[in-house]
Structure 1
Amino acid sequence: MTTPKIGIFFYSTYGTNYEVALEAKKAAEAAGAEVRLRRFAETAPAEVVNGQDAWKAQLEKVQDIPEISHDDMIWADGYFFAFPTRYGSAPSQVRSFIDTLGPIWQEGKLVNKVASASTSAMNTHGGQETTLIGFYTSLMHWGTIIATPAYTDPVLFEAGGNPYGFSTNAGSFDDKGRAAVAHQLKRLVEVTAKIAA
């Protein structure tokens, strides 16, 4: 069986999606994947980031993790994205990178990649589902194969019940959430291995 290459790509303002990404990395490796952990570049003005202690501390915490590049997108057979919602959509830090992918998309280098995503918001109805659905729309333009967790395991119901991808309230990543992320990554690795074979 082919060893799938999985890119774990995250943006985290205060730490929730960083924790999700670390759990995703652990789960993907446990499922037999080769993994790259990458972060989206911080594009907010320094004075805004430095004006919030928690935001500044989170950015400092991830400085040793490389920023995502086009090479990472080409290298990976499958992608797992973790980021917070911003007004029901992906944050600008994520979108600004996605919007640079035109050249490699036009060369067909993103076709048949497998992808899954997760998100967080300040509250349950803060745009969690629309964020994932909207993000997947962009990926469909590339010819990406979307591998949501759906309701393929009872843990999805216990951890919020979002069939599009794990989602949680900011600051609320608990053991049920970890189990849901682990299941989502196991499914992503399995589907990716089949496509990459």
Structure 2
Amino acid sequence: MSNVKLAIIYYSSTGTNYQLAQWAEEAAIVAGAEVKVLKVAELAPKSAIESNPSWKAHVEATQHVPEVTLDDLEWADAIIFSVPTRFGGMPAQMKQFLDTTGGLWFAGKLANKVVSAMSSAANSHGGQEQTVLSLYTTMYHWGAIVAAPGYTDPTIFASGGNPYGTSVTVDQQGNMVEDVKDAVKHQAKRTIEIAQLVKQGQK
């Protein structure tokens, strides 16, 4: 039974990365972790959201999901991020939140957090890998421990083979092209296992 505290932090405009976060939550609960699913604050103007029915519907459907705070980062032993690609990088909503973490970083409270990341894009070469790596760049500055899935399980190959973090292509109808559910669950389980080892080593 794990005693890892896991924060799953996501940004999602139409629901893909929220679904990835939910799959990660399912696997983490089975693994015995204490889990929080948290969204970053929306920065887009209401007019932009209102102009896209899928975006508007998702915002309304996830009003119950709490917004992440710095206290959640301090609480967590491990963190899984899930974000869409925006021109080959993380969306502004996630970047804005990460930019507020300087105080925790300066106090050394983000060091040795075990982190992992997932992403999505509208086409198979739309920047998923680069988006994950852009998140990891911040994590290296934190002094966090990156728990990339690598090729540690057959589900990685079945889902498209991204060793940096599970990623998925989303078609024009909002459907996931690759079957990534099992890969997400493996990544979550692996993140928890590594966090457990880190906690044991720190005792």
- Per the shorter chain, which TM-score range? over 0.9
2:161 matched to 1:161? yes
Partner of residue 136, structure 1: 136
Partner of residue 81, structure 2: 81
SS in 2 for 1:120: strand
1:106-145 to structure 2, matched below 5 A, reads: 106-145=106-145
Partner of residue 32, structure 1: 32
5+ residue gaps, structure 2, are: none
Deviation at 1:32, TM superposition (A): 1.3
Amino acid in the other structure paired with 1:85: T
Of 71-80 and 43-52, more deviation after overlay is shown by 43-52
**Deviation string, structure 1 residues 96-127 (Cα, Å, up to 9, x no partner):** 00000001110111010000000000001000
Pick 1 or 2: higher relative contact order, CA cutoff 8 A, min separation 6: 1
1:186-197 to structure 2, matched below 5 A, reads: 186-197=189-200
Deviation at 1:172, TM superposition (A): 4.0
Q: Counterparts of 1:105 and 1:35 in 2: how far apart (Å)?
A: 22
Amino acid in the other structure paired with 1:97: F
Q: Counterparts of 1:155 and 1:8 in 2: how far apart (Å)?
A: 20
Q: Counterparts of 2:149 and 2:175 in 1: how far apart (Å)?
A: 19
Amino acid in the other structure paired with 1:147: A
Q: Counterparts of 2:51 and 2:153 in 1: how far apart (Å)?
A: 42
Question: Normalized against structure 2, the TM-score is what?
Answer: 0.94
Partner of residue 56, structure 1: 56
SS in 1 for 2:180: helix
Q: Counterparts of 2:127 and 2:54 in 1: how far apart (Å)?
A: 22
Determine if contact 1:104/1:110 at 8 Å carries over to the other structure. Answer: yes
Partner of residue 182, structure 2: 179
CA-atom RMSD, angstroms? 1.3
Q: Matched residues, percent identical?
A: 46
SS in 2 for 1:36: strand
User: What is the count of residue pairs matched by the alignment?
Assistant: 197
5+ residue gaps, structure 1, are: none
Q: Counterparts of 2:5 and 2:175 in 1: how far apart (Å)?
A: 29
